[in-house]
Amino acid sequence: MNDQLDSDRDDQDSPEESAPQEGMDDEETSSEADSVAETKRQVTLAVPPIDRLLVLVGAAAMVLAGLLSWVNVAPDAFPNFAGIGAGGGGVGLVVFLAGLALLSGKPRIDTANGVALGAFLASLITVLVLFDELEGTGMGAGAWVAMIGSFLALTGIALATMDPARRPGRQVTHNAIAALGAALAVIASFWMDWVIFGGWGFSAVDTGPLGADFVVGGLHSDVATGYPVLILSVLVLLLLLGLLSPTASVGMQSKMAMHIRTAGIAVVVLGAGDLVGSVMSPGVVGSGPILALVGGLMIARSVGSAEAATTETAGAEAA
């Protein structure tokens, strides 16, 4: 009889004891759900925006491209014929340095845009020339990785440029210098020699005495660097004419100035790539890359910050 009473008490006490246990389970489940949600929020916040992610991935590929072979002298060659040396014809070193600059995140948007555009055009030209000369069989992975990486970086910067708040205020402070620099780059693109003598280079030249066949300009099919230099320089001249229009608003003038600076920096990268290639390969330095480099620097340096230009103008008026 007593055993039955004790059993009844246990049955009556069990619901009361189980109620707090259910409450504790709910609290533990809730805390676990909050912890998982907080972890998900932290992971989401750690992922950079798509434009920054493209720039980081593209810049990392550009750096990697300089460490890869651009021309397979021998498929089993070791050490590697890396692109930052003569193997990349100068373009590999320029793309490598451009990738490091983009990874640092220090350049302004228009500067980074010009660097990425120049690296993409230089690597694209290199891929086309090497593919034609080597029939695609002797090409290393470096040139392809450089072209794809610079394209990704350029796409990311273009997406960032769509945000008006991230565009730097620019103003052309020296119109005459910018016009002169663009004119010099135009002359360099078709009038000057861009050839690399004596080495395999990126120009299909044979060894022998110096003659007319060895003087190859920037518009030659075996160089082709002059075409983007010519197009970018003509674009700069057209934008400078657009700045003279009385109907151009302040915002439009700032946007045109930003494009002028971007084009000038791209010309600098293209000229630097061919110039470094001429130095690395046996032979002489062509005059075209030097003049294009000087013209691009003049274009880029003629564009300054709109805030700084306004401050200088106010100071001059006060004086």
pLDDT digits (tens, 9 = 90+) for 222-253: 777 889 999 999 999 999 999 998 888 988 99
In a 3-state reduction of DSSP, which class is residue 319? Answer: coil
Cβ atoms of 217 and 192 within 8 Å: the answer is: yes
Whether 10 is in a domain gets the answer no
Q: Verify that 202 and 128 share a domain, yes or no.
A: no
User: 283: which DSSP letter?
Assistant: S
* pLDDT bucket at 207, cuts 50 / 70 / 90: very low
Cβ atoms of 102 and 115 within 8 Å: the answer is: yes
Whether 33 is in a domain gets the answer no
State the Cα torsion 298-276-262-218 to the nearest 10°. Answer: 80
167, 190, 221 — which closes off a domain?
Answer: 167
Whether 1 is in a domain gets the answer no
Tell me: pLDDT of 200 over 50: no
Q: Verify that 81 and 156 share a domain, yes or no.
A: yes
Whether 16 is in a domain gets the answer no
Name, of 105-114, 128-137, 191-200, the range with top average pLDDT.
105-114
Comparing 10 with 250, the larger pLDDT belongs to: 250
How buried is 61 (Cβ within 10 angstroms: 0-12 exposed, 13-18 middle, 19+ buried)? buried
Q: Verify that 173 and 314 share a domain, yes or no.
A: yes
121, 145, 167 — which closes off a domain?
Answer: 167
pLDDT computed for residue 319 by the predictor? 46
pTM, to two decimals: 0.77
- Cα(185)–Cα(271) distance, integer angstroms: 9
Tell me: pLDDT of 4 over 60: no
Whether 39 is in a domain gets the answer no
Q: Report pLDDT digits (tens) over 124-167.
A: 998 988 887 777 667 888 999 999 999 999 999 999 999 888 88
Q: Verify that 271 and 311 share a domain, yes or no.
A: yes
Q: Which phi and psi (to 5°) does residue 195 adopt? A: -75, 155
Cβ atoms of 123 and 147 within 8 Å: the answer is: yes
* pLDDT bucket at 76, cuts 50 / 70 / 90: low
As a residue count, the chain comes to 319
Whether 281 is in a domain gets the answer yes
Amino acid present at 190: F
Whether 135 is in a domain gets the answer yes
pLDDT computed for residue 208 by the predictor? 41
pLDDT computed for residue 275 by the predictor? 87
- Going by C-beta distance under 8 Å and a sequence separation of 6 or more, which residues neighbour residue 295? 180, 181, 182, 183, 184, 185, 188, 233, 267, 271
Q: Verify that 174 and 163 share a domain, yes or no.
A: no
Q: Verify that 128 and 242 share a domain, yes or no.
A: no
Cβ count near 4 (within 10 Å): 8
Q: Verify that 60 and 199 share a domain, yes or no.
A: no
Q: Verify that 124 and 235 share a domain, yes or no.
A: no
Q: Report pLDDT digits (tens) over 27-58.
A: 555 666 556 555 555 545 566 789 999 999 99
Tell me: pLDDT of 221 over 80: no
- Cα(183)–Cα(233) distance, integer angstroms: 7
Q: Verify that 126 and 192 share a domain, yes or no.
A: no
Whether 318 is in a domain gets the answer yes
Closest C-alpha among 71, 68, 209 to residue 137: 71
Q: Verify that 180 and 88 share a domain, yes or no.
A: no
110, 145, 167 — which closes off a domain?
Answer: 167
Per-chain mean pLDDT for the chain: 79
Instruction: Return the minimum-mean-pLDDT range out of 8-17, 186-195, 200-209, 297-306.
Output: 200-209
**Residue 129: which domain range?**
48-167
Which residue is it, tokens 């620099």? 181
pLDDT computed for residue 35 by the predictor? 62
303 beta partners: 172
Cβ atoms of 298 and 260 within 8 Å: the answer is: no
Domain count across the chain: 2
Of all residues in the chain, the percent with pLDDT exceeding 90 is 45
Q: Verify that 160 and 198 share a domain, yes or no.
A: no
- Cα(133)–Cα(138) distance, integer angstroms: 9
